[in-house]
Amino acid sequence: MSMTDTLIFINVLVFFIILIAALSGFLEFVINYFALNPSSFFQGYIWTPLTSMFMHVLFLHLFVNMISMFFIGNFVERLIGRKRYLWFYMISGIVASLFFVGFAYLGLFVSGGEALFGGFDMPAIGASGALFGLGGLLAVLIPRLKVLIFFIIPMPMWLAMTVLMFGLWIFSVTAGLPVGNTAHFGGLLVGVAYGFYLRKRYSRKIKMLNKMFG
């Protein structure tokens, strides 16, 4: 089993645990203690940047994230190796969570900050931050790699990540949807930074990859 498949299994398992908790009347407890809430984080819930990245409450949220992880994650894992991939995935997710917390705090002092950055007392869950890290990495390593955005529209990887990042941010703010855009941004930056590091260190291999997939 690949590391990507293992991560998918953990996310699905956690989803069913949360479902059982919800049916048993413990959903509020689970969200309060394991979801990422900026207010709670500053009160000492420092484990939530880790636990929240494996949590999904809605099946559609889980399905979209896991399908994305299956295709993008397995590809990245084959490129950089199992061990390096795991560390990169975890760091992307944790940094994404910290971005969400930091920007939510900043939003307290900015006019319209809650709408732009997310509420200071708004819980956040999901693997999206780590997935944006994977996408950011590919956007730097193989920018012309063809992908299907929303599983329908073909785009080069660099454009797909740009559209997903800022298009989703604009749409969620104007529509008033609770989307963790700052978490996505944090994960994306980790992926882009690591991508440039790998591109510099393994320049010959990256050129070969771009000939194959670009």
Supply the residues annotated as catalytic.
Answer: 128, 184
The structure tokens 């994404």 sit at 96
- With b for 16 or more beta-carbon neighbours within 10 A and e for fewer, the 20-29 pattern comes to ebeeeeeeee
Q: Are 204 and 149 in contact (CB under 8 A)?
A: no
Q: What is the DSSP letter of 124?
A: B
**What whole-number distance in Å separates Cα of residue 69 and Cα of residue 58?**
17
Contacts of 54 (CB under 8 A, 6+ apart): 10, 11, 14, 127
CB burial of residue 2 (10 Å; 0-12, 13-18, 19+): middle
**What whole-number distance in Å separates Cα of residue 57 and Cα of residue 35?**
10
